Structure formats: structure tokens, C-alpha cells
Amino acid sequence: MKPAAVDTNVLVRLATGDHAAEHRAAIGSLAAQPWRVFPTVILETEWVLRSVYGYSPAQFVAFVEWMDANGRIVLEDADTIRVAVSHHRAGLDFADALHLAQANGSTFLTFDKALRRKAAKLDLHAEAVT
């Protein structure tokens, strides 16, 4: 069976269980068919879990690692997601971590001084636009 692509709200229900019927539906869907999760959905999920539900970086990382190990969930561009999760665990904002992971060793240009400092600590290539 071809995996079904899922939306952010499905992942949020799976992670939080805050709407019992939707949580059960998400669990049932995952049991019935594998899922595909796009990097943009993971990015949006992190934002919702952090800003609405107060998830810490460690809680979000645990959820993504659970999805990665689940066996029923295919993370699109999984290697990039794993790198981004590692950078996030090391202190980068997840969006910045994903951008740098997608840069894949190329220089990432930014005006964000804090990002450049944090990236330098991780030996990542974020440079000022000049």
C-alpha cells in the first residue's frame, strides 16, 4: 500500500492526544496504512507543538525520533531531517536547523547574527550577507 501523505494537524493530534476522537482516528489511520511526512509538515508541527502546546526542544526531538523509528512512517528527506534534529538538539531553532541541514554544507547567507553565532559553535556555514 502506498503511504498516505499527512498534514500537520494529524501529527499534532498524534503527539498531543488533545482531541480524543481525532487522536484515535490518527492512530487507526497509521495502523491501517503507512504515512509519508514532508519536511514542511515537520517544520510546521514543531511550530505548533512549541507555540501552542509548550513543547520543549527535547520533547519535539523525541517525537520526531519516534516517527523516524516507527516503521510505519516515512520521513521524506529523512537524512536532512535527522541532521536538522541533531542541530536542534544542539541548540538551534528548528527552522534554522532545517534550513542549514537543507543547505547541505553550502554557505547559508543570513542577516541573523544570533544564527551565525550558534551555527559557528556547531561548525556550520552561516555567513553574513555583505
Domain of residue 58, residue span: 4-76
Give 29-47 pLDDT, tens digit per residue.
Answer: 999 999 999 999 999 999 9
In a domain, 71, yes or no: yes
SS (H, E, C) 47-101: HHHHHCCCCCHHHHHHHHHHHHHCCCEEECCHHHHHHHHHHHHCCCCHHHHHHHH
Q: What is the distance between the alpha carbons of residues 74 and 82, in angstroms, rounded to a whole number?
A: 12
The model carries a pTM of: 0.93
Query: How many domains does the chain divide into?
Result: 1
- How confident is the model at residue 56, as a pLDDT? 97
Q: What is the distance between the alpha carbons of residues 64 and 11, in angstroms, rounded to a whole number?
A: 10
Percent pLDDT > 90 in the chain is 96
pLDDT at 1 over 90: no
In a domain, 110, yes or no: no
In a domain, 51, yes or no: yes
- Spacing of C-alpha 5 from chain mean position: 15
pLDDT at 87 over 90: yes
In a domain, 10, yes or no: yes
In a domain, 121, yes or no: no
pLDDT at 70 over 90: yes
In a domain, 38, yes or no: yes
In a domain, 112, yes or no: no
In a domain, 55, yes or no: yes
Q: What is the pLDDT of the chain when averaged over all its residues? A: 96
Give 89-126 pLDDT, tens digit per residue.
Answer: 999 999 999 999 999 989 999 999 999 999 999 999 89
